[in-house]
Amino acid sequence: MRAERRLRRGDISTDSGRRHASQQIEASIAYIRRIYSDYLSYGGISAFSGRVCEIGPGDNFGLALMALGHGAKNVVAIDRFYSRRDADYQKRLYAQIVEDHHWSHLFDGEIAEETIRGLDYRPGQAAETFFRGANGFDFVISRAVLEHLYDPVGALDDMERSLNPNGMLIHRVDLRDHGMFDGHPPLTFLTVGDGLYRRMTQNSGRPNRVLLPEYRKWLDRSGMDGDIVITRLVGVEREIDPVPWSALDDTLRRKAIEAVNQSRPNLTPRFASLPDEDLAVAGIVLVARASRGTAASGSSRPNEMESNRT
């Protein structure tokens, strides 16, 4: 309710996404480089090119700088909310990246987020609406963002239509509860009924509970050339190297299934109907490429997704 009141006043500021607020400059840069490298690895590419859209940049544009410095022509950064940031810290962060890579040409005068050449920042722009009228992207990327969208599958349809021929979607999705039920079994957030969960989470950016099967269905019907691999498992703290379920370590699979069985008796009917393997997946990477010959045609939105919007 407090979040809704803030939004009605036009206040889109948030402390969410402030990963760099308490880090040293060196740690922030190391993280930015790792995330950039992850994107390249996920997409099987050597660098970004053309026009890139980053969904949910959080409290800095380090990734946009990496993309622009390595050949991207333009980066559009959109975010439903505005992550609060320390302007002085950002300047020092960007200055260090410039010094490390000799990228002073990426700024128009003073080093600041407002002077980054090729960056188009649009706070207050939600992915569910932005891509309905957008086009001409070579890459659309996000990390730990799709799980916060009200309608991620509908947004994926629009992202598909926004791509240039051979354009690519690269999304890392965190399917966990994001700390909503700390101290309880990891699937506790799936034990709450749809109506109550919607009231608990609307306007707050909390997880939408769209799980692996819906992303798999979307990829299958999209007709795009792509894949979904696993990066996290329920009940397993550490991240894992992206792999399909069949390539997972047997010990990790058993541990994840045990965690699922701990919560299964209390799951709502919608989630209780899912197989153990689908419930055991707590993080994925979705990569999909449009046709080489023509821009992606898009897909109609399935009616069954309406009941899953939160």
Query: 266 in a domain, yes or no?
Result: yes
pLDDT in tens, 34-71: 999 999 999 999 999 999 999 999 888 999 999 999 99
Query: 309 in a domain, yes or no?
Result: no
CA separation for the pair 128, 151 (Å, rounded): 7
Strands (E), 18-108: 50-55, 72-79, 82-83
CA separation for the pair 149, 142 (Å, rounded): 12
Tokens for 115? 């002077």
Query: 304 in a domain, yes or no?
Result: no
Query: 306 in a domain, yes or no?
Result: no
**Which structural domain range is residue 247 located in?**
2-296
Query: 310 in a domain, yes or no?
Result: no
**57 close to 123: Cβ distance less than 8 angstroms:** no
Query: 307 in a domain, yes or no?
Result: no
Say which CATH number the domain at 288 has: 3.40.50.150
Strands (E), 11-127: 13-14, 50-55, 72-79, 82-83, 119-123
Query: What is the value of pTM for the model shown?
Result: 0.90
Rounded to 5 degrees, what are φ and ψ at 107?
Answer: -120, 145
**177 close to 189: Cβ distance less than 8 angstroms:** yes
**216 close to 91: Cβ distance less than 8 angstroms:** no
Query: 131 in a domain, yes or no?
Result: yes
| 131-136: long-range pairs with CB below 8 Å, 24+ | 131/155, 131/158, 131/159, 131/161, 131/162, 132/158, 134/53, 134/76, 134/158, 134/162, 135/161, 135/162, 135/295, 136/51, 136/162, 136/164
Regions of the chain short of the pLDDT cut 50: 297-310
